[in-house]
Amino acid sequence: MANEALGQVARRASIAVLIVAMIVVGLNVLGIGAIRVGVLGRLQGLEAAYADDSSVFAGGLIHAGLYRSDASLAPQPVLASSAAESSNGGQTWKVQLRRGLTFHDGSALTADDVIFTYELAKSNRCPLLAEICDLVRTNLDSVESTGEFSVTFNLQETWSPWATRGMTIPILPKAALEASLARLQRQLANADRSEVSLAR
């Protein structure tokens, strides 16, 4: 009986979280208002790039993909200004970015952020969710800028779900993550290593 009640509470909480997430993402993309949301669990930090469930939830409220899938699973532009242009039998995809968009820190979204995100996801040290890393690593050959607000994805081979899966990953702010990494490296350089132990 107690397990059933806990299950109902968990389901209701999950539904509430999904409703709040949908509202917040819509407001965020449209640039309307602000909302504060509490999450269960301890955030590992947004620079951990979605390493745990709480960070995934919080990051999803802040970062959006180029597209999202609608109810019929058709890609709808979010950070992109229009539908992606496919060529070379679906092996090449060109995307125009919406102008005037900013990240949570106020920095402007540019093609450099998209390239940074996809190159990070493709790298062997990808800090994103394993599913994202595997999807990008398996399918993406290269991503390049064709202008400040234009990127071209070159796939290893034609993969039809690229539009609905490959271009929906959260775009991360290059400058903010590089600054975060620089802070971490400074902290490590100044750390007293005699205080570090693997023992509990």
pLDDT at residue 11 in the model: 64
Euclidean distance between CA atoms 63 and 177, whole angstroms: 13
pLDDT tens figures, 45-95? 554 455 556 666 666 667 789 999 888 989 999 999 999 999 999 999 999
Q: Looking at residue 48, what is its pLDDT?
A: 46
pTM (two decimals):
0.69
Kindly report the CATH class assigned to 66-186: alpha beta
The string of DSSP codes covering 7-55 is HHHHHHHHHHHHHHHHHHHHHHHHT--------SS----GGG-S-SHHH
Cα–Cα distance measured from residue 163 to residue 159, given in angstroms and rounded to the nearest whole number: 9
The domains of the chain are located at: 66-186
For 118-150, what is each residue's pLDDT tens digit?
999 999 888 777 888 899 999 999 999 999 999
